[in-house]
Amino acid sequence: MQSPQNKREKHPQIPPEARRIQADSGEIWSIAEEVPVEVGFNGEAWSVMLATPADLEDLAIGLALTEGVITAGDQVQNVDIKAYPEGVSANIEVDPGAIIEARRGRRTLSGRTGCGLCGIESLAALHTPQARTYSTESPPDRAIKRAMSALDQHQTLNRETHSVHAAAWCSPEGEILTVREDVGRHNALDKVAGSLLRQGEIETPGFVLMSSRCSFELIFKAARIGASAIACLSAPTGRALDLAAALNLPVLARGPGGSIIRFEPERGS
């Protein structure tokens, strides 16, 4: 697999991640961009979403992985990024035989930043994903607190705009290894997934940390990349906990006073 890096100088036509706007008070504000991004395979469109125009190779590959359309990094030959007046396209060049067609059909061409059901064709498509059963111990509180306390310093775009989510891949000891930001929380996690896959680190032990609440689509994606737990700065939803229990995936949240609240399913349940 080639390792294209989403360097701004390689794609000068891609919109910036934020624009500067002067408010009535005269103060200059940085506003996060939200552009349509079309992801496709071998020139055939697959899904369109609204996303922050950064780390688009990571987004495309990560979405393909977490949706189960591809399973390994060496299946991807290249990702071609192009900008148009309507938005940006990310075309994944992949051996057609490596595409899992049954999973590609789970999404349509419509997507938004805030809805984990976007692109699902029917209620029947909402099933538990094929994922590993978690047998490793979840990270200790000290590791979760370490990662949570360090996340803000990695959120460069959010410090500028105050409007984007962050997803991080953390070591079992709580060191933040990879961070991606996006206007959509699930986009941010897909970018992390894509980064791990492109760098050959998808099997690296670790856990996911999100700056947002824990919704069920984040459980799906954390399961796809083999996280030992998912930790969020806000509380989970009920559906997220139901899915996490089915996958034996610990969910952790920041409680009052910085305490760590654990929602851990019983092992073997």
Residues labelled catalytic? 115
Sign of the Cα pseudo-torsion (68, 74, 75, 79, in order): positive
3-state class of 223 per DSSP?
helix
How is residue 33 written in tokens? 């961009």
Residue 101's Cβ-count burial label (10 Å; 0-12, 13-18, 19+) is exposed
At residue 52, the 3 state secondary structure works out as coil
Tokens of 184: 């959509």
Number of H helices, E strands in the chain: 7, 12
In the β-sheet with 76-84, what is the strand arrangement from edge to edge?
44-51, 35-41, 87-94, 76-84
User: Closest Cα partner for 38 from 55, 16, 60?
Assistant: 60
SS3 content of the chain, % helix, strand, coil (to 5): 30, 25, 40
